[in-house]
Structure 1
Amino acid sequence: FTNQIDFAQFGKAFNAYADKTVLSKLPRDGLEGRTAKVLGAYTIEGGQDLPLVTPAEAEIGPKP
């Protein structure tokens, strides 16, 4: 990227694409106790933090 603005525009477009193609298709109700399988990109900020994943694919397992 040539500058922070280019990077920010890419990040915004990437997140919008992930939301449209993956996240919007996932069920929102009854997720507690179900397994999730995700393929995506992530960053880890610090030692105790969980990774923040931007999914490219996601699959929710059956209800328990």
Structure 2
Amino acid sequence: MTIPEAARVLAVPESWLRERVRLRRVAHRRLGKHVRFTASDLEAIVDGAAQHALTPRRMAHQWRRQG
């Protein structure tokens, strides 16, 4: 999959994806000068962007630090 195709699947701007590739922050394949993505690369990008919910204990700990 090309950068424009992968960006559409991920629902992100092409520029965002190109920048992450340039910085080597997302999984991708290089075939010469061409960048390609596999389905597992896209899954890794999504998994890497996951935000974990705070547990009540963690939330209480954060409130104590702020107050």
Q: TM-score, normalised by structure 1?
A: 0.29
Q: TM-score, normalised by structure 2?
A: 0.29
Larger RCO, structures 1/2 (Cα 8 Å, 6+ apart): 1
Query: Whose strand fraction is larger, Structure 1's or Structure 2's?
Result: 1
Query: Larger Cα Rg: Structure 1 or Structure 2?
Result: 2
